[in-house]
């Protein structure tokens, strides 16, 4: 294996789910820079199409609600059919309702689980079917530091992010004999639309910045390198694991209780 081409994605077809904004948008652009043919999928069709247009070349955009198993399967099967292969699938979408356990409503529980856990399962299952059939590919699901450490108000979100890690491990075990790798990325606190309410509270924002070893938040672009490592030949013997890109958060003890908890 040529060391100079470890991160080269030339000739690869990559579906970036959640690519219409935030981390997914950054990853879609990064994969394209490394030579991949990128299909940007997002619940917001206009956003996905806009990112694909910015990338240019042969990038495409499309709508996808990962809660709909049939739609996920159709989308990934369609990509594989159009291009002959589906080499890379990255799944970034996630939602969070920050509430103490005793205040959580059933519909809020169902919404977080439907996107984060059921949606991730739908993607893993559909991508696994395609990739085991073609005997190769790489899947990266997005977990979080909350799979390992928690704070008040994070019960259901943390539960789903821990569940994603177990899905990844099982996917790696089942798909590995077919040459398919499955891994998770565990971001720390990243400046995205999902975390915008925290940025609006100066004390909360500063507390999170100071919790990491680097004393700052991550930018969405800083999740690109770790993700592309996992999908590239640089990680050809890496599967069934979670890579934390958290600025040292999970290495440091301490806690901040958010407002209202």
At residue 144's C-alpha, the angle toward residues 15 and 222, to 5°, is 65
The catalytic position among 157, 205, 208, 237 is: 157
246: tokens are 């958290």
205 tagged catalytic: no
φ, ψ of residue 35 to 5 degrees: the values are: 105, 0
Helix axes 22-33, 224-231, angle to 10 degrees: 60
- Alpha-carbon distance 43 to 193, whole Å? 14
- Alpha-carbon distance 126 to 173, whole Å? 16
- Alpha-carbon distance 260 to 22, whole Å? 27
The SS3 of residue 238 is coil
Beta strands in 53-171 (DSSP E): 60-63, 88-91, 137-142
Check residue 138 and report its DSSP letter.
E
Residue numbers annotated as active site: 157
């Amino acid at each position: 294996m040529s060391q100079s081409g470890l991160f080269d994605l030339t000739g690869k077809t990559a579906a970036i789910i959640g690519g219409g904004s935030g981390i997914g948008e950054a990853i879609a652009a990064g994969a394209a820079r490394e030579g991949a043919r990128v299909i940007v999928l997002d619940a917001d069709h206009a956003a996905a199409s806009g990112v694909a247009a910015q990338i240019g070349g042969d990038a495409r955009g499309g709508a996808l609600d990962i809660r709909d198993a049939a739609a996920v399967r159709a989308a990934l099967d369609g990509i594989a059919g159009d291009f002959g292969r589906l080499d890379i699938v990255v799944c970034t979408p996630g939602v969070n309702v920050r509430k103490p356990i005793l205040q959580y409503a059933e519909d809020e529980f169902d919404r977080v689980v439907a996107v984060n856990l059921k949606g991730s399962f739908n993607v893993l299952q559909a991508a696994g079917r395609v990739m085991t059939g073609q005997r190769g590919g790489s899947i990266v699901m997005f977990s979080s530091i909350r799979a390992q450490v928690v704070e008040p108000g994070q019960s259901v979100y943390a539960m789903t992010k821990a569940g994603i890690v177990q899905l990844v491990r099982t996917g790696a075990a089942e798909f590995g004999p077919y040459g398919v790798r499955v891994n998770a990325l565990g971001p720390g606190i990243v400046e995205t639309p999902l975390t915008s309410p925290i940025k609006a509270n100066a004390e909360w924002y500063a507390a999170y910045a100071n919790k990491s070893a680097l004393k700052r938040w991550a930018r969405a672009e800083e999740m690109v390198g770790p993700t592309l490592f996992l999908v590239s030949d640089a990680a050809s013997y890496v599967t069934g694991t979670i890579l934390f890109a958290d600025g040292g958060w999970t290495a440091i003890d301490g806690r901040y209780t958010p407002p209202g908890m």
